[in-house]
């Protein structure tokens, strides 16, 4: 008699192992790399995607690699990181890097050459080109180089994070008769990595030389009287996540400024050298940086592919780029009337970049220029080094308005920019706050208080993305403009809490981390699980950038086990093991990688016929829930709810062109077409829809002008 296997139990579910976070991050970069490989993507855009992968890997090493490395070199495992985890990580990254350079050398460079765009090596340059490069080296490059020969009085120099350097093995003797054979040449960051040759030296197209090639072909001149033998370019990546004990500093801005001075010289975590680097030189460098063999990357090309992105900016060939896209303006904001008046009629939703971020700037412009506006409050996380938005806030102060800015100094890799903004803002009278000690202020909100008659009325802007006009052109996000008195009162309470660090008042609509958001999400998921177990049709659809919070993951898995149908759209890292037979088979996880960076956070919950939908600044990560100030707010207008469902959730679940599914094997697979099914791209469909709207607005304006 055949014994049937017992059905899975909750105990089986609870013992199900979650997916590895770092491997999931690398899997995301594999999906980005796929766009660099696609033949239907314009050539310059393919290079851009390749550079994005390299930039992502840089940040991965700067932030995530150190614990693995420590476990490898100390052989001390805490169960999370170990020598094995380092080896597995190293294998995955080496494989991806090898495929990157294979694509760069065997596909992209030949494709550029067919377009008349070439990066000439020393051996490919003719006499006139060689002469020009020689002159360029002596007039621009050489004055900035300081070759350092190593000896007891000249130790190995400080090499900055991700900087370009050369190591050289010298023959003969130095000026003092010694046989010191190793020298280092540091190449300053101020020099461009790609240099375009003058048109008179090109027969057609565009010719470039790389800075590394320029230095390499003149190494002999840097060491007169010595024989230059073995040499290699190299780059070291260092751990760069700033750690400041906020409880132990009197001035966070000063402490961060001091920390930034040391960021470029943290512990080494990766070493890149030329593919032809000798074992003698590579072993010397590994020993110098205290790195194991697995941290060495031999690359057949530039050691910093990120800087090859300069080519994208230097080539003006529209046919090699995505077709230009013009964002539309929401119908409600198309007429020349006050935005405040429009918001009194109802909330306004902007779906960026399909709709223009200009309307957010216009909201602030109107607030700055309106004599009845008394107060402007805003959070700043990433706004860029040049920002009209920040200039508008300065104008508001000049017009006598009270301006408060909650500026997050600890926005990773934007710390210096934000410190500079803090200096500028404070110098003209802006009240600059740095949030709450120990927490990053990641919430995106703006509050305008306006005198209307004998009372004051508030208007708010909430967003899933940053106040950055540049990234708003290629990040998908939702902006929400409202005059809802209940919601704007909540926003006021949050600003009051951030300023005075008093107890947060009881809120009406907002879910705020680290106080309520985590608990409310888990409670909502658990409630739907209980209702599903009772036979009520239930559904969760959630879109975010990352899903790594274990408590939320376990709640989702249990709810699905109880009968909730769950669809998750997670662009990046996801630790939830989906589609596991009998356990998580009701959970479907997909990732959309496209022309635009999917960045919006949308949470949809359905219980029978009751639907609730939230927009949020927070991903479902432990840090967002417990170590940041984050917001989630409900969309109550049924029409706006449906628009978000249609344009975001349904559209992306129907995507068959840019979507990947996480299957039971823990790996992502491209979504395939079923027989008779047409290929669908959610982003292309939305671009077409809003391009048409933008054209209709233009035609109507032309007609009205006539």
Give the CATH number, domain containing residue 452.
3.30.870.10
412: pLDDT strictly greater than 60: no
Tell me, what's the pLDDT at 153?
A: 61
Tell me the chain's radius of gyration from C-alpha atoms: 28
Q: Is 1 domain-assigned?
A: no
Partners of 298 in beta bridges: 273
Q: Is 223 domain-assigned?
A: yes
Q: What is the mean pLDDT of residues 377-402?
A: 81
Tell me, what's the pLDDT at 250?
A: 41
Q: CA 584 from chain center: how many Å?
A: 29
User: Percent of the chain scored above 70 by pLDDT?
Assistant: 87
The structure tokens 């669809």 sit at 567
Q: Check residue 571 and report its DSSP letter.
A: S
Q: What is the mean pLDDT of residues 469-474?
A: 89
In Å, the largest CA–CA distance within the chain is 91
Q: Are residue 537 and residue 504 in the same domain, yes or no?
A: no
Q: Are residue 316 and residue 346 in the same domain, yes or no?
A: no
Tell me, what's the pLDDT at 423?
A: 67
**Confidence band for 303, pLDDT divided at 50, 70 and 90:** very high
Q: What is the mean pLDDT of residues 97-114?
A: 97
**Confidence band for 84, pLDDT divided at 50, 70 and 90:** confident
Q: Are residue 345 and residue 302 in the same domain, yes or no?
A: no
Range of the domain at 190: 21-320
Look up residue 221 and give its two tokens.
């001149």
C-alpha to C-alpha distance for 568 and 140, rounded to whole angstroms: 53
227: pLDDT strictly greater than 70: yes
Q: Is 594 domain-assigned?
A: yes
Q: Check residue 423 and report its DSSP letter.
A: H
Q: Are residue 632 and residue 611 in the same domain, yes or no?
A: yes
User: Which of 508, 531, 560 is the C-terminal boundary of a domain?
Assistant: 508
H/E run at residue 431: strand 431-433
Q: Is 40 domain-assigned?
A: yes
81: pLDDT strictly greater than 90: no
**Confidence band for 172, pLDDT divided at 50, 70 and 90:** low
The structure tokens 């009194």 sit at 344
Residues with active-site annotation: 442
User: Which of 270, 288, 320 is the C-terminal boundary of a domain?
Assistant: 320
Q: Are residue 316 and residue 337 in the same domain, yes or no?
A: no
Higher-pLDDT residue of 675, 386:
675
Higher-pLDDT residue of 698, 646:
646
**Confidence band for 311, pLDDT divided at 50, 70 and 90:** very high
Tell me, what's the pLDDT at 640?
A: 97
C-alpha distances in Å from residue 64, one per residue of 67, 406, 523 = 7, 28, 31
Q: What is the mean pLDDT of residues 22-34?
A: 96
Instruction: Check if the beta carbon of residue 133 is closer than 8 Å to that of residue 125.
Output: yes
5: pLDDT strictly greater than 70: no
**Confidence band for 559, pLDDT divided at 50, 70 and 90:** very high
Q: What is the mean pLDDT of residues 444-454?
A: 94
Tell me, what's the pLDDT at 369?
A: 94
User: Residues 638-642: contacts with CB within 8 Å, 24+ apart?
Assistant: 640/347, 640/349, 641/611, 641/613
Q: Are residue 436 and residue 584 in the same domain, yes or no?
A: no
Mean pLDDT over all residues of the chain? 88
Q: Is 603 domain-assigned?
A: yes
Q: What is the mean pLDDT of residues 523-541?
A: 98
Q: What is the mean pLDDT of residues 589-597?
A: 96
Residue 519, helix vs strand vs coil: helix
User: Which of 320, 351, 374 is the C-terminal boundary of a domain?
Assistant: 320
User: Percent of the chain scored above 90 by pLDDT?
Assistant: 67
Residues 268-277 as b/e (b if ≥16 CB within 10 A, e otherwise) read: bbbbbbbeeb
Give the CATH number, domain containing residue 131.
3.30.1840.10
Q: What is the mean pLDDT of residues 474-483?
A: 96
For the stretch 106-125, pLDDT in tens is: 999 999 999 999 999 999 99
Q: Is 256 domain-assigned?
A: yes
C-alpha to C-alpha distance for 410 and 435, rounded to whole angstroms: 10
Instruction: Check if the beta carbon of residue 65 is closer than 8 Å to that of residue 58.
Output: no
C-alpha distances in Å from residue 112, one per residue of 28, 118, 312 = 27, 6, 11
Q: Are residue 435 and residue 575 in the same domain, yes or no?
A: no
Q: Are residue 499 and residue 548 in the same domain, yes or no?
A: no
Contacts of 60 (CB under 8 A, 6+ apart): 22, 25, 26, 29
Q: Are residue 407 and residue 292 in the same domain, yes or no?
A: no
Residues 574-586 as b/e (b if ≥16 CB within 10 A, e otherwise) read: bbbbbbbeebbeb
Closest alpha carbon to 244 in 56, 438, 509, 385: 438
Higher-pLDDT residue of 618, 69:
618
Q: Are residue 522 and residue 407 in the same domain, yes or no?
A: no
191: pLDDT strictly greater than 50: yes
C-alpha to C-alpha distance for 270 and 265, rounded to whole angstroms: 13
Tell me, what's the pLDDT at 389?
A: 77
Q: Are residue 532 and residue 613 in the same domain, yes or no?
A: yes
259: pLDDT strictly greater than 60: no
Tell me, what's the pLDDT at 675?
A: 82
Q: Are residue 529 and residue 504 in the same domain, yes or no?
A: no
**Confidence band for 247, pLDDT divided at 50, 70 and 90:** very low
Q: What is the mean pLDDT of residues 259-276?
A: 78
For the stretch 32-74, pLDDT in tens is: 999 999 999 999 999 999 999 999 999 999 988 888 888 888 7
C-alpha to C-alpha distance for 641 and 646, rounded to whole angstroms: 9
Please state the domain count of the chain.
3
Q: Check residue 421 and report its DSSP letter.
A: H
Q: What is the mean pLDDT of residues 698-703?
A: 50
Q: Is 706 domain-assigned?
A: no
Q: Is 618 domain-assigned?
A: yes
């Amino acid at each position: 008699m055949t014994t049937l296997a017992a059905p899975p139990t909750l105990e089986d579910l609870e013992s199900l192992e979650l997916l590895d976070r770092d491997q999931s991050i690398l899997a995301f970069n594999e999906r980005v790399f796929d766009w660099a490989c696609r033949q239907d993507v314009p050539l310059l855009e393919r290079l851009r995607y390749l550079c994005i992968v390299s930039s992502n890997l840089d940040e991965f090493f700067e932030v995530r690699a150190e614990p693995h490395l420590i476990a490898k070199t100390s052989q001390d495992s805490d169960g999370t990181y170990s020598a094995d985890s380092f080896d597995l990580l190293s294998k995955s990254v080496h494989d991806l890097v090898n495929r990157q350079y294979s694509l760069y050398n065997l596909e992209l460079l030949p494709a550029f050459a067919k377009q008349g765009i070439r990066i000439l090596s020393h051996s490919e340059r003719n006499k006139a080109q060689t002469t020009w490069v020689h002159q360029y080296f002596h007039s621009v490059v050489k004055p900035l180089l300081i070759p350092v020969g190593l000896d007891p009085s000249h130790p190995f120099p400080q090499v900055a994070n991700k900087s370009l350097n050369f190591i050289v093995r010298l023959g003969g003797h130095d000026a003092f008769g010694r046989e010191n054979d190793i020298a280092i040449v540091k190449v300053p960051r101020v020099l461009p990595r790609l240099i375009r040759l003058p048109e008179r030296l090109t027969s057609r197209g565009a010719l470039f030389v790389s800075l590394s090639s320029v230095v390499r072909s003149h190494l002999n001149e840097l060491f007169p009287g010595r024989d230059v033998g073995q040499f290699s370019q190299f780059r070291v990546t260092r751990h760069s996540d700033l750690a400041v004990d906020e409880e132990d500093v009197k001035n966070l801005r000063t402490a961060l400024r001091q920390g930034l001075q040391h960021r470029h010289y943290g512990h080494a975590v990766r070493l890149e050298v030329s593919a032809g680097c000798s074992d003698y030189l590579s072993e010397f460098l590994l020993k110098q940086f205290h790195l194991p063999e697995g941290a060495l990357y031999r690359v057949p090309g530039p050691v910093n592919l990120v800087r090859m992105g300069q080519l994208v900016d230097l080539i003006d060939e529209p046919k090699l780029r995505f077709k230009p896209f013009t964002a539309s303006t929401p119908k409600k904001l198309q007429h020349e009337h006050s935005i405040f008046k429009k918001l009194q009629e109802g909330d306004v939703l902007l779906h960026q970049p399909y709709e223009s971020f200009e309307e957010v700037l216009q909201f602030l412009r109107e607030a700055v220029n309106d004599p009845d506006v008394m107060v402007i409050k805003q959070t700043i996380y990433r706004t860029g080094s040049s920002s009209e938005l920040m200039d508008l806030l300065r104008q508001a102060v000049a017009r006598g308005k009270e301006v408060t800015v909650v500026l997050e100094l600890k926005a990773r890799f934007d710390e210096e920019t934000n410190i500079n903004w803090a200096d500028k803002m404070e110098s003209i009278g802006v009240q600059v706050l740095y949030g709450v000690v120990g927490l990053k202020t990641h919430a995106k909100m703006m509050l305008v208080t306006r005198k209307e008659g004998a009372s004051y009325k508030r208007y708010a802007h909430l967003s899933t993305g940053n106040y950055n006009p540049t990234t708003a052109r290629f990040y998908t996000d939702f902006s929400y403009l409202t005059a809802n008195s209940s919601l704007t009162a909540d926003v006021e309470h949050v600003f009051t809490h951030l300023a005075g660090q008093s107890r947060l008042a009881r809120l009406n609509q907002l879910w705020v981390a680290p106080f309520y958001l985590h608990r409310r999400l888990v409670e909502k998921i658990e409630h739907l699980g209980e209702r599903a177990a009772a036979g009520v049709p239930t559904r969760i659809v959630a879109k975010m950038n990352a899903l790594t919070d274990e408590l939320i993951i376990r709640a989702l898995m249990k709810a699905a086990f109880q009968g909730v149908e769950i669809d998750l759209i997670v662009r990046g890292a996801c630790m939830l093991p989906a589609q596991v037979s009998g356990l998580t088979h009701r959970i479907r996880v997909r990732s959309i990688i496209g022309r635009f960076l999917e960045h919006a956070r949308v949470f949809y919950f359905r219980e029978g016929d009751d639907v609730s939908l939230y927009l949020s600044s927070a991903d479902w990560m432990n840090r967002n829930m417990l170590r940041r100030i984050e917001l989630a707010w409900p969309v109550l207008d049924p029409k706006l709810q449906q628009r978000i469902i249609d344009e975001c959730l349904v559209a992306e679940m129907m995507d068959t062109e840019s979507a990947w599914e996480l299957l039971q094997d823990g790996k992502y697979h491209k979504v395939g077409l079923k027989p008779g099914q047409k290929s669908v791209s959610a982003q292309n469909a939305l671009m077409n829809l809003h391009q048409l709207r933008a054209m209709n607005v233009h035609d109507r304006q032309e007609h009205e002008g006539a």
